Structure 1
Amino acid sequence: MNAVSRNENQALSRAVLEIDVANHPGVMSHVVGLFSRRAYNVEGILCLPVGDGRQSRIWLLVNEDQRLPQMIRQVEKLEDVSAVRRHHADHAVFTDLEAFFQA
């Protein structure tokens, strides 16, 4: 179990990270592996190519705690990452997807 206990984990708010990356094999593994190595749980993942396919956009639904700003700085340092944006958990990418699956 990570550093946050289950009871505290349920009380945490969530955030959506929108990450622009170079589109090639292994990039998703590098990004998500960074979270895994630091025992930071990812609640949801969505990845799609954008534009001409040389770039992809990864959306991560994560718990928001005191470690998140450091995690963002670490992601920004990855070679294949060109941009990271932080959104509230009510970002349409996950709320619309959730509504689709509940219908």
Structure 2
Amino acid sequence: MPDVAAAKARLEVQLAELEARQARIAEDLAEPLNADSGEQAVEMEDDASLEGQGALVAKEIASVKRALGRIVDGTYGECVRCGEDIAPARLEARPEAALCIDCARAAE
């Protein structure tokens, strides 16, 4: 059985960090483009990269929120696919893990 209180604390810290990162990305994307056309091209490339990072961060936020939801409903530590327990070492490494290692490998 995983240490749910410790996992919840780690997930809450992770969520706060991800949300702060998402806010910084949004701020960077909101900055107006430089008037110089050469600089604009570079900034547009940077914006495309930031948008990609923003999408990844949003995905991570959703994963952490789902894990926190599993804590609330009492299913944290159970594989959402097969129902077996997720190994404590996996939860230690990835507290937001929703799949046991076998189901995660099958999903890849």
Under TM normalisation by the shorter chain, which class is it?
under 0.3
> Which of structures 1 and 2 has the larger relative contact order (alpha carbons within 8 angstroms, sep 6+)?
1
> Structure 2-normalised TM-score?
0.24
| Greater fraction helix | 2
